[in-house]
Structure formats: C-alpha cells, structure tokens
C-alpha cells in the first residue's frame, strides 16, 4: 500500500479517474503472458510526457518501484510488477502524431497498438515490418522496450532496426530526446539501440519515430514438406546460403503438422517429418526468379511435396495453418510453455536434434516450431503446471535447452526478452564483466533502482 | 463451441484485440483475460464478492468474440454466465434488471407487459418521450410494439405456396413476437415461397439468454424445458430463427444447461443440430427463390454483422454472400461491418456511455458508404442502431428478410 500522502500527490497529477488501487482492479495488472504474478500497489494511466515526468519525480523522491506496461503481452514477465509499487499503463497514451511516408517515418505515442500502425500506413502503401504474434494487441512502447521481432524479421530485421528516434523519461523525471527524422543520423551515441530491449529498466518511452517501408509489389508463398527433419533444416541453410533472403521461413515438425491437421483439416501431408512455409516478396520478376531457385534447393534436399499459393485465399490458408499451431498445442494440456532460443542458421539442424533429444529424455510432449530462417526456435511444451513433477521436468528441460543453445553459439532469446523468465541463465551467454557493464549503465541512469526492479539487471 | 474445462488461460492477450469494451475503455479490467483472472481469484478465495467485482465482471456485452478467437479454446461465455450467477446471488440485482427477468420468465407476464406498454406508448406525451432516454437510446426512437403479438396473429401451421419441399419449425423469439413483426411476416412469406411448411409452436417462450446473462439460471431452466418441449417431435428439417442470439441459445446453451442440471441432453442436442439462422437457411435454399423481374432499380445497402451471428454461426459471410447475389442490391461494405454496435442485450441500458461511443462510430462508417438501407439480423442491434440515428440521417435499419421478401416474385 502506498502512503496516503504519496497517493494524493500521484492523484493530483493524473486525476482520480486514471488512478486505480482497489484490489479487484489491481488483480488485473498482476500478470502478463508469463506464468508468474505480483500485485502492484497502484496503477496509473498517464496521457502526456509531462505527467510521466511528474509521476517519476515523485516515485524517485519516495523510491517507489515503477513498472511500465503496454498491453501486458510479455512472454518473459517483463511487465509483472514483481517488487510491487506503481504500474504505469500506457494504453490511454495512444495517439498517432504524424504519418509522413515521403520522409518514411511515423511518430507515435507508446500506447499505439502495432496493428493500428499498420492500419494507418496501409492507405499510403507502406508498412512497419516488426510483426510480433501479439501485434493486434501489443503496443509500440512495449515492442520497443522488448525489441520485438516476428516472422518477417528474417528479411526486414527487428524493432531496433526501425526506431529512428525516441523521447524517454528518466527515473529522475528528466525528459531526453534522441535520434531524429533522418534515415541517416550518426550524431552521438545510437541511444535508441540502448533503449530497445531495455525492458523498462532504463527509462520510460513516451514517444517514438519509427521508420516505415513501402509495401512490396509481389508476394509469393510456398509450403514444402520433407520426409526427413534434417533435410528440412538443411534446405533452410541452403536457401539462405544461395543468397536469397525470404521474408519468412517457418519450420514445423511432424507432431506439429499432425496436431494442426487433427483440428483444422487443411490437407497437410501427415506423413511428412518436416515442413517449411516460405514467403518471399519484392518486384514481381525478381520474386519469380527467386521462387525458381528456392524450388530447386528444396528439391535437392528431397522435398516430397511442394505447394505454391496461387491466390490470396490459398496464401491465407497456408499461414492459417502456421498461425494456428500455438493455439492447437495450447489445448493439449492445461498450460503451455514456449521459449525462443536462437542459433546461427547453420546450426538449426543440430539445435533441433538437441531439443528433440532433451524433451525425449524428460518424457515431455513437444512440438517444434521455428522461424528457421533466422535460427529462432520455438519449442512448445504443453504441460500441467499444477503437476509438480511434470513442471519440474519442463524447467529442467528448458535449462538444458538454454545450455545447448549457448554451446552452439546461440543465445537465450531471439524475440521474447529476458525479464523474469530467463535472467538466471544470463551467465550462459555473457561473461561477468559484461553483466557488470550493464549494471554500471543501469546505476548511472537509475541510481535508486526504481525502474522495473527485480528483472534481468 | 466445445468447452475445454481443463484449459487454463495462457494470458496471451489476444482477446484484448477483439473485445469491444476493452477497445473503448483501454483498461485491462475491461478485458476478457482480466475477467477470467478475477473469476479464478474468486474461486480460489483470494478475492471476495463485492459490488466492484460484480461491476467488473458484468461490464461485458456477452458478444462471444473472446471465446471465438481464443487460441486456448476457453469458453469465456459460459464462465462469465456462471460468474454472473454467483455475483447476482451474492450482490443482488438492480430493480430494472429484476423486473426484466420477472417479465421474461413467464410468457403471460410478457404478454401482459407488452399490452401495458402498448397502451403506455399511446398515452406518453410526445414532449415527454422526446426528452427522456432509456440507456443511450432516446425514448422517441424506440420501436412501436406490434399491435397483435406475432404468434397470435399467425396460425400454428402454415402451408407453402407451391409443392412442399420440407418442414421447418420457426422459433420466433420475443423481439419478432412483440416488437418487429415485419421480420416474422417476411420470413413466413419467404419460407412459403420456397415451399416449406412452417410450424410455429404456440407454447414457445423467451429463449432465456437474458435470464442466463443476468444469473437467473433456475428461471432460465424452466423456459428452456418449455421450449424444448414445444420444439421437439415435429419431424422438421430445420429449426429456424430470425435472431442469432436465440439461435445461439438453442444451438449452444440448451445442451450445456441440460447437462449442467444433470438432465439427459438428448432432445436438446437433437434440436441443437437442426438450428439454423435465417440467412444460412436462405443461402442453403437460394436456388428456390424467384425474384420479381420488374424490380429494375438497384438499392444501396450496407450490413452490420451481429456478434452472435458472427461468433455462433459464422454466418456473416452468408449475409454478405446473399447480399452480393441479390440482383437488385448494390452492396456497400462498411469497413467495420464486423464490429460490435454496443447493443449487447441490456448493455446499452446498463452502460450507456460505453455503448454510445460504439454505436456512434458504427453510424459514422455506415453513413460514409452512402447506403440507403442498413441491414442487420439481430433485433437488439436493430433497435440500437436505429435508435441512435438522427431524423435527418437518411438511413433505414431493417432485417435482411424484409428486403429479400420485398423483391420476391408473386406466386
């Protein structure tokens, strides 16, 4: 509970309507898409940078923990207020400030939903490439704080590649602005990269200038199946090695394909050991040329069935199969865990072997789903959290999966972030001095450690 | 909707993007995910009953979009109904909702209520009607009650115009019976034109959805039993509805309620398997329709897909398919055809500020496509959309059946 005097000062800034502290309401901000939960003492909905600044001045003065929240879709618990305090929820600070496609940028407030950015750009023939699975719910502020990715980031890159400038409120309440509306800008440190993926531990994002790109003229989509999972993975490395960068290359194994087919009946090959959903885009002629080469490469790797979408409806059907995978696995048990270890593309076949081996050892059901083109694996394990023994196995299996990824020059997280979920494993991929260096930065900008405390730094 | 009771909410948040109330309020507690979380906390005794808890879980249109889009297959719909029941038991209900439940629980009370209201509508001075509002709808914009209840105005068995091709049982719902008999008369004419014998069982009563939404499960069960008895044993090819909410009840809730009450759901399941909404039924029999060749002019039409049509029947596509097939229609799709209008049973009455924002946006978009008719196959949507239009908005709201009927060839 916050002290009445502090509470009154906070209410004075935003008004009583945008301040919540009754238990029934607080319970709705104790969670995100991760498994843990912690109640905040208050939830505040700021609408302006000035309000955020005033709020942080008070939080600093009384050393109250502050956790930023967009739509609460973090998969690693980044928005869970584990040390309680105040949750700043940005869902009401949601204006699109400027759309400028001739200078190729859009300026937005942090609470704008990713999908709404896409909708605003569509009439101009532009889009914003980062496309996390949560894009119709999650906010740009959250996307930046987590450096979100998505299937098409294989070709286009992740959030950090699209943030041209930002306005950030520091723990002290000071407001800093960096970057600009210029595609080229090497003036000073590239601070936007520092804040991308900072998970709310360095400052609170209040505005962002995002780079946007023209929509491609043509899109081609292909579903390929193989009778061998190794060949499936090898086709991925071969295609990329031959100089083609598809928009997306989504890998699914036999268990996943069959689970989808059981429910959705899309005519997928049940005997296939692995499949790839490949999409390319660009100029029409170039797409056709690339498609030919992709087909050659998958044939060389023993593709058993190649299906090209001939119209938008067929394309939608292929993607529907891919997108439904998570939901279908989620229904196999009361809970589901999915992580996002990532390895260099050439190590994808090895990593898949490792994951299969480890989950077999612990006798867990597991489906392989991967943004294979960028080595981003999503092993999905349906399990029952209330079954202590089974849950222990899940945790042990993931610990081994992280270890295996590290040994293959991989990393803990390709797109979900570290948050509460993976901070214990940081030493697997970072030495002591590097972790120390992150702490030094944190200390310098947030000396009282009030911003999203209890997380990875 | 197959319920998966073992499933936990993964809290992924996808439901936020389809929840009409969340999209207006932009606060987590308005979201389906939060409601599940609160229900869990209440069941685990970490939260106790309170007026605020009741308010949070009730601030919901029961549109079913969360359940229809949930990757984990959670049936929010039945979980919310169950929780509403617990909250009504613990916290009581407002007098207005109580009287609604009282009326809907017995057919004779409904009839009596409608008679009174009809008399009332004659005597309420215009100046008074103009100045007061019920929920977000000005009183003057409420529809006039049918002069005779629809079921009373029709025979129990109606024969087709041409050679009989089948039998349908028609569940009329309260709206067609007391408010919008134009829908019912149009449907009967269309069915006769197609060659169907129509049975309108006299003993049918309120489908019970309003009762279930407001936690009156016992009263609902009585109505449901009455309806099952009225609808069974007719050897019909289909049980047709002109209101998708009634349809949703017959199709999904009746079998569930029977099972929850430890009763044999055989008859309920049998009826459920035959339930079809009017537009799906017409789509299926489209070839049996003959249109008047003299109708030459095209009329501009737009459509609003009711949530229960979309989420329970997936048949908004049927409506659009039919509209694009009709020779005399110029179909102008509104960009937000699938968005909820904010009617939501009694939602427009209980939460007028939220509902008003939703309906105003719908109206703005419908006007922008420049149609002269706005079709929708749900009586509450119709009342809400029409009730919020201004006199000078040249847009008329109708059930699609009325329009289809008006263009049929005379037999």
ipTM of the complex: 0.93
Is domain A4-89 given the CATH code 1.10.3720.10 in the classification? no
Q: Do A94 and B26 touch (CB under 8 A)?
A: yes
Cα B100 to Cα A52: distance, rounded to the nearest angstrom: 46
Which of A27, A29, A327 faces B72 most closely, judged by CB atoms? Answer: A327
Mention every residue, 6+ apart, whose C-beta is less than 8 A from residue A215: A125, A126, A127
Where does residue A323 rank: exposed (0-12), middle (13-18), buried (19+ CB within 10 A)?
A: middle
* Domains of chain B by start residue, with CATH: 14-91 (1.10.1060.10), 290-406 (3.40.50)
Residue B2 pLDDT level (bands cut at 50, 70, 90):
very low
Where does residue B17 rank: exposed (0-12), middle (13-18), buried (19+ CB within 10 A)?
A: buried
The CA angle A372-A376-A379, to the nearest 5 degrees, is 95
- CA proximity to A93, closest of A41, A26, A53, A139: A139
DSSP A158: -
Q: Over chain B, what is the mean pLDDT?
A: 88
The C-alpha R_g of chain A, in whole angstroms, comes to: 23
User: For residues B351 and B132, which has the higher predicted lDDT (pLDDT)?
Assistant: B351
Cα B351 to Cα B340: distance, rounded to the nearest angstrom: 14
DSSP A90: -
Backbone angle region of B196, left / alpha / beta, with phi > 0 → left and psi within -120 to 50 → alpha: beta
Which helix (H) or strand (E) segment holds residue A209: the answer is strand A204-211
Q: Which residue has the tokens 């990875």?
A: A456
User: For residues B297 and A286, which has the higher predicted lDDT (pLDDT)?
Assistant: A286
Low-confidence ranges of chain A (pLDDT < 70): none
User: For residues B100 and A56, which has the higher predicted lDDT (pLDDT)?
Assistant: A56
- Condensed to tens digits (0 to 9), the pLDDT of residues B161-199 reads 999 999 999 999 999 999 999 999 999 999 999 999 999
The pLDDT value given to residue B321: 85
> Looking at residues B313-328, what average pLDDT do you find?
79
**Neighbour count for residue B50 (Cβ, 10 Å):** 16
All residues of chain B having their beta carbon less than 8 Å from the beta carbon of residue A72 are 11, 13, 28
The CA angle B137-B141-B143, to the nearest 5 degrees, is 110
Tell me how far apart the terminal alpha carbons of chain A are, to the nearest angstrom: 25
The pLDDT value given to residue B315: 58
The pLDDT value given to residue B4: 46
What's the pTM?
Answer: 0.90
Q: Distance (Å) from the C-alpha of residue A218 to the closest C-alpha of chain B?
A: 24
Cα A141 to Cα A262: distance, rounded to the nearest angstrom: 38
Where does residue A236 rank: exposed (0-12), middle (13-18), buried (19+ CB within 10 A)?
A: buried
Q: Distance (Å) from the C-alpha of residue B8 to the closest C-alpha of chain A?
A: 5
Strands (DSSP E) along B97-222, which ranges? 133-134, 137-138, 157-158, 166-171, 196-199
Q: Is the pLDDT of residue B3 over 50?
A: no
Strand, coil or helix: B158 = strand
Q: Distance (Å) from the C-alpha of residue A171 to the closest C-alpha of chain B?
A: 24
**Neighbour count for residue A427 (Cβ, 10 Å):** 12
Strand, coil or helix: A78 = coil
Q: Is the pLDDT of residue B109 over 80?
A: no
- Condensed to tens digits (0 to 9), the pLDDT of residues B198-214 reads 999 999 999 999 888 88
- Indicate the domain borders of chain A: 4-89, 96-214, 218-407
Q: Distance (Å) from the C-alpha of residue B165 to the closest C-alpha of chain A?
A: 33
Handedness of CA A337, A367, A411, A403 (dihedral sign): positive
The pLDDT value given to residue B76: 93
Helices (H), ranges, A112-226: 114-121, 140-146, 153-156, 191-195
Distances (CA, A) of A249 to A136, A229, A328, A349: 22, 14, 20, 14
All residues of chain B having their beta carbon less than 8 Å from the beta carbon of residue A30 are 37
Question: How many residues make up chain B in this entry?
Answer: 411
Q: Which residue has the tokens 């997936």?
A: B314
- CA proximity to A116, closest of A95, A92, A146, A144: A95
Beta bridge partners of A139: A113
Residue B132 pLDDT level (bands cut at 50, 70, 90):
low
Q: Do B11 and A22 touch (CB under 8 A)?
A: no
Find out whether A210 and A127 touch, Cβ atoms under 8 Å: no
- List strands edge to edge, sheet with B329-331: B329-331, B299-303, B373-375, B396-398
All residues of chain A having their beta carbon less than 8 Å from the beta carbon of residue B52 are 22, 24-25
The CATH number given to A218-407 is: 3.40.462.40
Q: Which two tokens stand for residue A419?
A: 């948050």
Query: CATH fold of A96-214, please?
Result: 3.30.465
Q: Is the pLDDT of residue B92 over 90?
A: no
The pLDDT value given to residue B119: 65
Find out whether B330 and B346 touch, Cβ atoms under 8 Å: no
Which of A20, A24, A33 faces B38 most closely, judged by CB atoms? Answer: A24
Most distant CA atoms of chain A, gap in Å: 72
The pLDDT value given to residue A161: 97
Strands (DSSP E) along B124-165, which ranges? 133-134, 137-138, 157-158
Residue of chain A minimizing CA distance to B71: A327
The pLDDT value given to residue B124: 56
Residue of chain A minimizing CA distance to B36: A28
Interface of A with B (CB under 8 A): 20, 22-25, 27-34, 45, 71-73, 89, 91-92, 94, 111, 113, 115, 134, 136-138, 324, 326-327, 330-331, 334-336, 385
- Condensed to tens digits (0 to 9), the pLDDT of residues B42-91 reads 999 999 999 999 999 999 999 999 998 888 889 898 899 999 999 999 98
């Amino acid at each position: 509970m916050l002290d009445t005097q502090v509470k009154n000062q906070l209410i004075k800034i935003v008004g009583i309507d945008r301040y919540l502290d009754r238990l029934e309401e607080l319970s709705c901000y104790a969670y995100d898409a991760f498994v843990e939960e912690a109640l905040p003492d208050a939830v505040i909905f700021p609408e302006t940078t000035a309000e955020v600044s005033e709020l942080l001045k008070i939080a600093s003065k009384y050393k109250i923990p502050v956790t930023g929240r967009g739509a609460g879709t973090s998969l690693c618990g980044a928005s869970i207020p584990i040390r309680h305090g105040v949750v700043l929820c940005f869902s009401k600070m949601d204006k699109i400030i400027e759309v400028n496609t001739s200078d190729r940028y859009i300026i937005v407030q942090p609470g704008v939903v990713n999908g709404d950015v896409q909708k605003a750009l569509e009439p101009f023939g532009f889009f914003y490439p980062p496309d996390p699975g949560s894009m119709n719910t999650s906010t740009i502020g959250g996307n930046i704080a987590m450096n979100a990715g998505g299937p098409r980031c294989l070709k286009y890159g992740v959030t950090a590649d699209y943030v041209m400038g930002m306005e950030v409120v520091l723990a002290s309440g000071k407001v800093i602005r960096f970057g600009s509306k210029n595609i080229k800008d090497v003036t000073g440190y590239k601070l936007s990269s520092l804040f991308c993926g900072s998970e709310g531990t360095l400052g609170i994002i209040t505005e962002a200038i995002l780079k946007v790109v023209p929509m491609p003229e043509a899109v081609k989509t292909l579903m390929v199946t193989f009778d061998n999972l190794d060949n499936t993975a090898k086709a991925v490395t071969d295609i990329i090695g031959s100089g083609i960068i598809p928009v997306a290359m989504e890998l699914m194994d036999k268990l996943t394909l069959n689970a989808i087919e059981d429910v959705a009946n899309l005519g997928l090959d049940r005997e296939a050991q692995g499949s790839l959903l490949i999409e390319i885009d660009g100029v029409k002629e170039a797409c056709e040329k690339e498609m030919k080469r992709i087909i050659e490469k998958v044939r060389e790797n023993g593709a058993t069935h190649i299906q090209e979408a001939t119209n938008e409806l067929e394309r939608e059907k292929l993607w529907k199969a891919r997108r439904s995978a998570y939901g279908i696995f989620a229904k196999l048990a009361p809970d589901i865990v999915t992580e996002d270890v990532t390895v260099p593309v050439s190590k994808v076949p090895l990593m898949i072997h490792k994951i299969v081996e480890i989950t077999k050892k612990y006798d867990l059901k597991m489906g392989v789903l991967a943004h294979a083109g960028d080595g981003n694996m999503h092993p999905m394990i349906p399990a029952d959290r209330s079954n202590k023994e089974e849950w222990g196995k899940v945790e042990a299996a993931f610990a081994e999966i992280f270890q295996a990824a590290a040994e293959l020059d991989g990393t803990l997280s390709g797109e979900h972030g570290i948050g509460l979920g993976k901070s214990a494993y940081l030493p697997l991929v970072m030495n002591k001095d590097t972790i120390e260096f992150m702490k030094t930065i944190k200390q310098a900008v947030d000396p009282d450690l009030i911003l999203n405390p209890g997380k990875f730094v | 909707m197959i319920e998966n009771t073992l499933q936990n909410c993964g809290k992924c948040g996808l439901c936020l993007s389809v929840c009409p109330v969340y999209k207006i309020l932009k606060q987590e507690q308005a979201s389906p995910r939060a409601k599940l979380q609160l229900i869990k906390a209440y069941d685990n005794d970490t939260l106790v009953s309170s007026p605020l808890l009741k308010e949070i879980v009730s601030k919901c249109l029961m549109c079913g979009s969360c359940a229809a889009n949930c990757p984990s297959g959670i049936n929010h719909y039945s979980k919310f109904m169950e929780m509403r029941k617990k909250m009504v038991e613990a916290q009581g209900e407002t007098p207005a909702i109580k009287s609604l439940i009282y009326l809907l629980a017995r057919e004779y009370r409904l009839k009596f209520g409608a008679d009174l209201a009809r008399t009332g509508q004659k005597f309420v001075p215009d100046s008074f009607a103009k100045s007061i509002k019920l929920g977000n709808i000005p009183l003057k914009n409420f529809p006039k009650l049918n002069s005779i209840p629809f079921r009373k105005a029709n025979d129990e068995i109606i024969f087709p115009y041409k050679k009989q091709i089948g039998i349908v049982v028609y569940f009329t719902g309260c709206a067609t019976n007391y408010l919008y008999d134009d829908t019912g008369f149009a449907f009967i004419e269309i069915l006769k034109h197609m060659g169907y014998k129509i049975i309108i069982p006299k003993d049918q009563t309120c489908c019970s959805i309003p009762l279930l939404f407001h936690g009156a499960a016992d009263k609902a069960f009585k109505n449901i039993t009455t309806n099952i008895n009225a609808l069974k044993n007719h050897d019909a090819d289909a049980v047709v509805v002109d209101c998708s909410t009634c349809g949703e009840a017959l199709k999904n809730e009746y079998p569930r309620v029977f099972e929850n009450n430890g009763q044999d759901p055989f008859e309920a399941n049998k009826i459920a398997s035959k339930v079809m909404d009017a537009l799906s039924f017409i789509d299926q029999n489209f070839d049996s329709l003959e249109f008047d060749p003299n109708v030459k002019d095209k009329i501009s039409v737009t459509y609003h897909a009711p949530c229960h049509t979309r989420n329970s029947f997936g048949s908004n596509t049927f409506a659009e398919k039919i509209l694009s097939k009709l020779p005399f229609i110029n179909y102008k799709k509104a960009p937000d055809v699938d968005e909820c209008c904010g009617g939501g049973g009694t939602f427009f009455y209980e939460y007028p500020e939220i509902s008003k924002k939703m309906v105003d946006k719908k109206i703005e978009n419908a006007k922008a496509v420049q149609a002269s008719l706005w079709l929708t196959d749900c009586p509450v949507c119709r009342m809400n959309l029409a009730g919020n239009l201004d006199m000078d908005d040249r847009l008329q709201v109708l059930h699609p059946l009325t329009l289809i009927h008006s263009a049929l060839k005379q037999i």
